[in-house]
Amino acid sequence: MSSFIDPRNFYHDQRGLGPGSAVEPTASEVKQGYTAQAKNPPLKIRGLTLKNRVAASPMCMYSSQDGFATDFHLVHIGQLAMRGLGLTIMEGSGVSPEGRITPHCLGIWKDEHIEKLQQIVRFAPANKGAIGIQLAHAGRKSSTVAPWPDNVLGPSAVAFDDNLWIPKELSIDDIHRIQQDFALAAIRADKAGFDVIELHGAHGYLLHEFLSPISNKRTGKYDDTFDNRVRFVVETVRKVRQVWPEQKPLFVRLSMTDWVSPSDDIPTGGWTEEESVELAKILAKEGVDLVDCSTSGSSPKQQIPLSPGYQVRFATAIKQAAPDMLAGAVGLITNAKQANDIVEDEKADLVFLARALLRDPNFVLNGTAELGVFAQYPHQYERGRNKSILTFV
């Protein structure tokens, strides 16, 4: 009778830091044209070493029930983790049920969510990749419906109350409760085994709503002066950092600008790049390790100058003005040379991909080959590296 073999053992005997890491080529591999040039090097953040500088951005999948991860998430995240990414971040997960974008969004507001997340988390280290989770509260953008056709309500399906989606100002007690929700979610993320937490402070969701003068019309302690608009984010970071282990990195995603200029309709204009840089300096002192630099989401009047890598410059601005803070770049980064140049030219410390990975989960493995670098493959996929050789083993 054969003894049980833990399937994770198949991944442990690997060169380098696992799939996606650049390794010294053998003599035969050098003859094939591969080089040992150190492109896409590892990145150490606190007690964590990322095997390369490419990460999967959190992407809403709208495939949960009551906030629970499913087998879909295991396969979706698992296949990204084994294809060579340095870091895979799970989608924005509601710290409270009412904080989800839709009823089909992932959640981490109760202990029962932990078990399935643990199963997913166990798979990533087997491939020597790190795994993170984004903690989120959608604020005035919450409680909508998922985008799939069978979830979209027709015009006559429900007679909505006209006041259903009118935002209500949070009381001070509400603010403290939500901040505690973030802290409790961080504790659950640690119990699940995640390596990284990212707080979602972008795209018009709750933390961003406090930052942007477009949405923050409060008076008092959290009013529309800069110091008070950043207060909610800073206090939330402080609460999370207190319970999140010291050796584990903490990221914050920011919309670096609302892309809204002052006008008759919006006299104040929106949240700006300069304000984001100042906030990054504050967050560095509060124990945040990296700002994930995105943009927009607060107003339909935003004017976004879309072009390849159009948001990279914001990561560069953080690196130049806040040397104690790492910066991640995201947005229309679509090929390996572009991603590699961003890192090599020190425009950002980490490159985040989203749709590019949905189109090509092998982005890292294929990209290293395009750059002429020999990267580790999963053992089970090694036979697929050289298209010119047919094997039947």
Q: What burial class does residue 101 get, using C-beta atoms within 10 Å of its C-beta: 0-12 exposed, 13-18 middle, 19+ buried?
A: buried
Query: Is the CB of residue 252 less than 8 Å from the CB of residue 203?
Result: no
Of 11, 34, 62, 205, catalytic: 205
> CA-to-CA distance for 239 and 232, rounded, in angstroms?
11
> CA-to-CA distance for 288 and 197, rounded, in angstroms?
10
> CA-to-CA distance for 18 and 23, rounded, in angstroms?
9
Alpha carbon separation from 127 to 47, 69, 248, 254, 336 (Å, rounded): 18, 20, 19, 29, 21
The residues near 282 (Cβ < 8 Å, ≥ 6 apart) are: 230, 234
Alpha carbon separation from 122 to 20, 65, 112, 365, 369 (Å, rounded): 18, 22, 17, 22, 28
> CA-to-CA distance for 234 and 220, rounded, in angstroms?
17
Alpha carbon separation from 103 to 62, 115, 117 (Å, rounded): 8, 20, 18
Tell me which residue has tokens 């945040």: 288
E-strand ranges in the chain read: 43-45, 48-50, 54-56, 87-94, 130-136, 196-201, 250-255, 290-294, 326-329, 350-353
Alpha carbon separation from 200 to 176, 182, 252 (Å, rounded): 17, 11, 6
Query: Is the CB of residue 23 less than 8 Å from the CB of residue 375?
Result: yes
Torsion angles phi and psi, residue 19, rounded to 5: -50, 130
205 is catalytic: yes
Tell me the catalytic residues.
Answer: 205
